[in-house]
Amino acid sequence: MGLGAGAFVAAGVLLMLRRRRTVQQRRRRAGHRIAMPQGRAAATELALRCVDAIEEVDFLDAALRTLAHHCAEAGRPLPALAAVQLGCEGILLHLADTDSADELAAPLPPFTATEDRPQVWWCPADTGDLADAELLGRIDAPYPALVALGDDTREALLLVDLERFGAVHLTGATRLQVLRALGTSLAVSPLSSDLEIAVAGEDSAPGLSLIDSRVTPYTTLAEAADVVRTHHGRQHTALSGSDRTDLGAARAADTVDELWPMVVLADLDSCPDPESAEQLAQVLQQEPRTATAIITSGHAPAEEAESVWVLDTDNEAHAVPGTDLQCRLVAFSDEEYADVVESALTSSSQTDVAPEPSPAPVTWAKAEDSPADPAVPAVAEPVPSSRESGSLLARLADLDADAPTSVPAGDPGGGTAAEAEPPSPLPTAPEAPGPAAPQTDATSPSRIVLPATASIPQVKAQLPEPVTPPAPAPQEPTPAGAIPTPGPAGEDTADPLVRVLGPVDVTGARGHIDSNRLTVATELTCWLALRPDGATRHELDEVIAAGGGRVENNTRNGRIREVRRWLGNDAYYPKLNTQPDRKHRLVGVACDWHQFQDLTAQAADRDDVEARALLRRALELVRGRPFTGIPPRRYVWAENLTQDMISAVVDVADDLAARCLAARHPRGALWAAGRGLDTAREREVLWRHRFEALAQLGAHDDLETAIQQLNQYLLEADLPMERETEKTIRRLDAVRR
């Protein structure tokens, strides 16, 4: 899977998982955790996080909607696109040939024309011409059938508008892998939710409907063709009766409603039906053109070769019509595709799981205080994945059969696997990109060569063995009777403190580090702080070069020295020859997550007054959603920990707010609920605590405002209000009146 195309699919898949896990967190029982993928599916998700382009795709979406707004204001149709290149530096729109050269000479914001190629428009990543978020939210997706076909041989995303091409036919040995990758890209596309995908035949893209509701499977091509004809007929009638029969003009003027696209996916080898295929071809040839596209695959060439874009997947690159671009196609292996479907199923599980038991605390003395022969903690043996290889259909059938049941808690797959080299390394994720270097010729952005969303050589993604994210270990418990005194967020401590319960940072470091080395150093410090049992050099490499990229000894040793100097001295990052197991670890470096765990564990054994004090101390450590403010394609190991932290913080906020309400201390309940909502606004029990606290305070205006805030959040998130919340609002309203 090429990096560019993989970045687009990764963005869509990870956004889909984010939305579904939000819903899982809403319905999770207190004291439980949401189901997370296991084994190879977990490794595939980690690999996707190494290459995702969520920020870049969000920027593309905003730029295209801004363009659509200016087209509508100017009374101009949306420009027809031959292709789109997307990289870290910005966007290049390649306009299709039209009969109006005047329009090509006048690009609209946020785009400008290139000096030597008037049909290529440029928008830099640092543009200040994007519309504001409120306006963008009112603009429909201007190119809802835009999809990442692959990369441009220079690692930038290359997207095409399927509505313009109409029909694409895939041949060659990997035609099914490309078909499924394109289907997945469409199913999870962040560029539009107003899209329907009709999958014809059981073998074309099995399980794709489990990924997103915009996908509908049909047993035969004839059934799919019937639906497409109905879709086409409605839009054809609407466009024919309008004064703007072109899709781009109608969308820009907003004169025709419901111009969403329908895309058919069909493998003609597994669902042969020449008559239905001919009917679909006729639909695409009728004028005015409707929002309809067809992607087929088969060993035989297309019947109507002149009207179909035929792509032989055996070729390394393909010319994009109307441009001078070459495209390398995206492809999903059977394993990658099945893993994405499995992750989608797991994230839809309505059954939560018991939390993993916390490991026994491990205490390591500082280097200068180490005894001659310290004890070495036991290291768990790797647990091999229980999943067996098999055919794609067999694996998906097993997934479908298991869908209604819970995903069991347990080892999330594969053991450490860090000592073994992965079969084929994934791309190295870069540090956060800094400001773009000035162009040597600022007037000629056409000379820009867009970099990849991550600058790495082209590879095929054979994923490494599953790597279990490190399980957090609590610090040494405080003696009974004593109350720990962690400083509030932002307070300097004598020793370094790693903070991940909110924006990630490290406070109290005594040394210095160059700003361009801070990104990886901070991540490495956080990762080591969350692994008190230590790490091997191979495990360090997974952080330094996320995804299995090769790390030379000089690079690794340089990063280690930088962290050691930054923290202050060898005592905080002991050298390997002082460690009996020769593992990398931090000593004397605190972590707010461990402090949080220690405080909440103590609260369980105290009376109500002491428990409330300890729980408040724990919540004072929380500064927002865990692991926020991290650069793209970094901290790929942190998702399981993030979800665990969210669950723990919400449960503590729920517990403390309930205790405060019972003790008639509404201000304490209001504070606790607020801390929890800063972490997870989706958790409605915290909104109910807020409502109850405001009612106890008699703050009726604030209560009404809070109810409106919840309603607005649910509207934007497209979530229903829980029945218990509705009952609470009615009860408080009745008491108030």
Q: How many residues does the chain have?
A: 737
Of all helices (H) and strands (E), which one includes residue 497?
Answer: strand 497-499
Per-residue model confidence (pLDDT) at position 120 = 93
pTM: 0.80
CATH of domain 51-334: 3.40.50
Mean pLDDT, the chain cut into blocks of 10 residues (737 residues total): 69 95 95 94 92 93 96 90 93 81 72 89 95 92 92 90 93 95 94 92 93 94 94 84 73 73 94 90 86 92 77 94 92 93 94 74 44 37 39 49 39 34 33 38 36 34 37 40 40 79 95 91 96 90 82 91 90 88 92 97 93 97 96 93 97 98 97 97 97 96 97 94 97 85
Matching fold, domains 51-334 and 497-584 = no
Question: What SS3 state is found at 297?
Answer: strand
- Least Cα distance to 686 among 657, 664, 715, 661 occurs for 657
- Least Cα distance to 96 among 75, 78, 111, 108 occurs for 78
User: Which tokens in the block code for residue 158?
Assistant: 């290359």
> Distance between CA atoms of 622 and 620, rounded to whole angstroms?
5
CB atoms within 10 A of CB 198: 22
Secondary-structure breakdown of the chain: helix, strand, coil percentages, each rounded to the nearest 5: 40, 10, 45
CATH of domain 497-584: 1.10.10
User: Which tokens in the block code for residue 62?
Assistant: 């905003």
User: Which tokens in the block code for residue 168?
Assistant: 């694409």
Per-residue model confidence (pLDDT) at position 406 = 40
For the segment 94-108, what is each residue's pLDDT rounded down to a tens digit?
998 865 444 455 899
Is there a contact between 382 and 465 (Cβ–Cβ < 8 Å)? no
| Amino acid of residue 669 | A
User: Which tokens in the block code for residue 203?
Assistant: 């073998």
The domain ranges of the chain are: 51-334, 497-584, 597-736
- Work out whether the CA dihedral 658, 659, 662, 668 comes out positive or negative: negative
Chain centroid to CA 687: how far? 26
User: Which tokens in the block code for residue 353?
Assistant: 């799981």
| SS3 annotation, 169-224 | EEECCCHHHHHHHHHHHHHCCCCCCCCEEEEECCCCCCCHHHCCCCEEEECCHHHH
Per-residue model confidence (pLDDT) at position 545 = 87
Per-residue model confidence (pLDDT) at position 405 = 39
Per-residue model confidence (pLDDT) at position 426 = 29
Per-residue model confidence (pLDDT) at position 484 = 40
Residue where the block lists tokens 């205790």: 659
Instruction: Label the pairing between strands 81-87 and 90-95.
Output: antiparallel
User: Which tokens in the block code for residue 410?
Assistant: 């347990």
Per-residue model confidence (pLDDT) at position 5 = 66
Q: At what angle do helices 553-567 and 518-529 cross, to 10 degrees?
A: 80
Per-residue model confidence (pLDDT) at position 214 = 93
For the segment 341-385, what is each residue's pLDDT rounded down to a tens digit?
999 999 999 888 988 766 544 444 444 444 333 333 333 333 334
Per-residue model confidence (pLDDT) at position 392 = 52
> Distance between CA atoms of 688 and 669, rounded to whole angstroms?
11
| Amino acid of residue 551 | V
Per-residue model confidence (pLDDT) at position 4 = 64
- Least Cα distance to 66 among 130, 23, 3 occurs for 130
> Distance between CA atoms of 561 and 232, rounded to whole angstroms?
64
Q: Is the omega angle on the peptide bond into residue 288 within 30 degrees of 0, that is, cis?
A: yes
CATH of domain 597-736: 1.25.40.10
